[in-house]
């Protein structure tokens, strides 16, 4: 299976809880190459291309035909992943058969600005999975769904019930469990499990366990 190339947000690192939990969950099924970058968006985009070159150089002859790419990131890292995917589409459209994007806590809304342009530029050949906390002030679900309807790329959505932009929620064991579940769901999606509707993940205090279900899209 293709390796997910993943990076952290602007103010965080690879040891940020949300990054660790997501990658731990994802890596139970598929490999992850996580890279650290600066707060410079352009440099972070170049980081994706450097990782792609590294993976390509280390592939065996049998794997050289694998042209599926999986790129992802958290917050600013998600923006960088989108820009990298758009550049890949422009530069070598014929070489890449398939691109999957996993965007965790995409920072869609900032003060007086909606960062939808790069999402709307994504071609129909790219598939996108959004993983968003229901209390994420930088990515309101209603606004995200409006943008999703305008996108050429097909998208799916996983909502982490009660989580904010940093994927924080109480109690601590709930934050860890939901974070890891988000990674496992993303791995399922990359593996081909792509059901219609919105996947919802929440913490059930009775029994201290993670629950998952599907919300129908409106």
**How many Cα neighbours within 13 Å face the side chain of 172?**
1
Q: What is the predicted pLDDT for the residue at 164?
A: 96
Q: Which of 101, 85, 94, 95 is nearest to 65 (CA)?
A: 95
Residues in the chain: 218
Under a CB-based contact definition with an 8 Å cutoff, are residues 82 and 101 in contact?
Answer: yes
Under a CB-based contact definition with an 8 Å cutoff, are residues 100 and 69 in contact?
Answer: yes
Q: What is the predicted pLDDT for the residue at 93?
A: 53
Q: Can you give 11-44 as a three-state secondary structure string?
A: CCCCCCHHHHHHHHHHCCCCCEEEECCCCCHHHH
Q: What is the predicted pLDDT for the residue at 43?
A: 96
Q: What is the predicted pLDDT for the residue at 20?
A: 97
Domain ranges of the chain: 4-59+66-215
CA-based radius of gyration for the chain: 16
The pLDDT profile of the chain, 218 residues, written as one tens digit per residue, is 789 999 999 988 999 999 999 999 999 999 999 999 999 999 999 999 999 989 888 876 556 556 788 999 999 999 999 999 999 887 765 566 688 999 999 999 998 899 999 999 999 999 999 999 999 999 999 999 999 999 999 999 999 999 999 999 988 889 999 999 999 999 999 998 887 778 888 888 766 788 888 754 42
CATH of domain 4-59+66-215: 3.40.50.1820
Q: What is the predicted pLDDT for the residue at 78?
A: 98
Q: What is the predicted pLDDT for the residue at 61?
A: 57
What single-letter DSSP state applies at residue 162?
Answer: T
d(C-alpha 130, C-alpha 138), whole Å: 13
Q: What is the predicted pLDDT for the residue at 218?
A: 29
Q: Where are the alpha helices (DSSP H) in the chain?
A: 17-26, 41-58, 76-91, 117-121, 141-150, 172-190
Its pTM stands at: 0.92
């Amino acid at each position: 299976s293709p390796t997910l190339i993943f990076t952290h947000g602007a103010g965080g690192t690879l040891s940020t809880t949300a990054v660790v939990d997501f990658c731990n969950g994802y890596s139970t099924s598929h490999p992850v190459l996580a890279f650290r970058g600066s707060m410079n968006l352009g440099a972070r985009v170049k980081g994706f291309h450097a990782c792609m070159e590294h993976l390509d150089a280390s592939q065996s002859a049998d794997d050289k035909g694998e042209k599926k790419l999986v790129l992802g990131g958290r917050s600013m890292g998600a923006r960088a992943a989108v820009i990298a995917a758009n550049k890949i589409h422009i530069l070598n459209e014929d070489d890449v058969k398939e691109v999957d994007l996993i965007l965790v806590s995409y920072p869609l809304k900032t003060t007086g600005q909606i960062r939808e342009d790069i999402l709307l530029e994504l071609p129909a050949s790219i598939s996108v999975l959004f993983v968003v906390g229901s209390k994420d002030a930088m990515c309101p679900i209603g606004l995200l769904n409006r943008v999703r309807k305008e996108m050429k790329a097909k998208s799916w959505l996983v909502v982490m019930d009660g989580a904010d932009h940093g994927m924080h929620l109480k109690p601590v064991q709930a934050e860890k469990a939901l974070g890891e579940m988000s990674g496992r769901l993303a791995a399922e999606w990359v593996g081909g499990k792509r059901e219609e509707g919105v996947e919802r993940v929440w913490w059930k205090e009775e029994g201290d366990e993670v629950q998952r279900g599907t919300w129908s899209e409106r």
